[in-house]
């Protein structure tokens, strides 16, 4: 495996980025923090646990779709591709594709280096015939992929509706950067969560076991443990709800009573009920997402959904 930047986000630069973002986010009104900071090692593990919750339908629904369509995807994309998994954290879904696709290689691209390395090492051990590589990539910024122009045709795999965690304009920019990084005649297989009954969405982001709440709280633990913030994590409550007008689930941390957070020499006063907005999870109709893909330079080729219309998987090409 190549090791381009093993310390990214765990090192001083990562801490400085978190501090800068946290200060800017706490000064702003309304207050907010980027969801990309959820995914330190503990956050990545909590996200894996969210995927196991009965209320969180996206993971199992997408897996069922992938199981049904994998032979068709192999026909569309061809064999001997370089399978590039965006956000490779769990690497479970890709296992569903590997036997059907028989790719020439696998490149895992994820923001959390330690977690990615662990997952790709396991993948390499389980698939000895596969050339497994890993790259630490933050696709919310300009990024490049270590692709050989004379190598196999890339097929990007972007599961989990992670694209929904970007505002639509940013999502377009991410897809446009991905199209540029992949080059011509490449494919993209992407999972996109669909608009649906808000009650299903509200339940999915408020699981009874409290795993999503712990995932949300992990942001506060990171500020306390990595940046030395003086704060009471239990003084904030998990809030998640579907905002119909904006077409997105919002997650917040709501102050339980008046309190303060001290960070980096500044003190931030919270009123009772004031929130830190921690995540948006946009939901699309099939047509809305096809339009988004087109506007980013992809050609939509096929789309599949589950029988209940909860989730979609799109195949697009550059
Ligand atoms: C990673 N992402 C697509 C998840 C979502 O559903 O937006 C993150 C998540 N947040 C709360 N639960 C899951």
Q: What is the pLDDT of residues 27-83, one digit of tens each?
A: 999 999 999 999 888 998 899 899 999 999 999 999 999 999 999 999 999 989 999
pLDDT for 143 equals 87
Report the distance separating Cα 208 and Cα 119, nearest Å: 28
- Residue 281 Cβ inside 6 Å of ligand 1? The answer reads yes
pLDDT confidence tier of residue 119, bands split at 50, 70 and 90:
confident
- Residue 50 Cβ inside 6 Å of ligand 1? The answer reads yes
**Length of the chain, in residues:** 318
Q: How far is the CA of 59 from the centre of ligand 1 (A)?
A: 10
Ligand 1 closest atom vs CA 240: 11
- Residue 25 Cβ inside 6 Å of ligand 1? The answer reads no
- Which residues, 6+ apart, have CB-to-CB distance to 301 below 8 Å? 76, 315, 316, 317
Containing 92, the helix (H) or strand (E) segment is helix 92-101
Mean pLDDT of 275-288: 98
């Amino acid at each position: 495996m190549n090791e381009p930047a093993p310390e990214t986000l765990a090192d001083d630069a990562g801490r400085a980025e978190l501090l800068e973002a946290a200060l800017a986010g706490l000064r702003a009104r309304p207050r907010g923090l980027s969801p990309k900071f959820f995914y330190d090692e503990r956050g990545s593990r909590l996200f894996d646990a969210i995927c196991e919750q009965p209320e969180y339908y996206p993971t199992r629904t997408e897996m069922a779709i992938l199981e049904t369509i994998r032979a068709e995807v192999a026909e569309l994309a061809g064999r001997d591709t370089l399978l590039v998994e965006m956000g490779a954290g769990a690497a479970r879904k890709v296992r569903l594709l590997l036997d059907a696709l028989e790719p020439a290689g696998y490149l895992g691209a994820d923001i959390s280096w330690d977690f990615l390395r662990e997952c790709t090492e396991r993948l390499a051990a389980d698939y000895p015939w596969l050339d497994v590589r890993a790259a630490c990539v933050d696709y919310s910024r300009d990024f490049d992929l270590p692709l050989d122009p004379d190598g196999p045709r890339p097929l990007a795999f972007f599961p989990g509706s992670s694209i929904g965690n970007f505002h639509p304009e940013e999502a377009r920019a991410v897809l446009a950067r991905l199209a540029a990084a992949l080059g011509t005649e490449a494919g993209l297989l992407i999972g996109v969560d669909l608009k649906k009954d808000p009650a299903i969405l509200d339940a999915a982001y408020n699981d009874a076991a409290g795993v999503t709440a712990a995932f949300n709280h992990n942001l506060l633990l990171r500020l306390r443990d990595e940046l030395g913030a003086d704060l009471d994590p239990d003084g904030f409550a998990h809030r998640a709800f579907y905002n119909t007008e904006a077409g997105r689930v919002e997650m917040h941390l709501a102050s339980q009573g008046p309190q303060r957070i001290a960070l980096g020499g500044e003190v931030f006063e919270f009123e009772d009920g004031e929130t830190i907005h921690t995540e948006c999870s946009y939901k699309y109709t099939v047509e809305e997402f096809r339009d988004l893909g087109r506007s980013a330079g992809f050609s939509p080729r096929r789309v599949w959904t589950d029988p209940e219309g909860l989730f979609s998987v799109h195949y697009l090409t550059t």
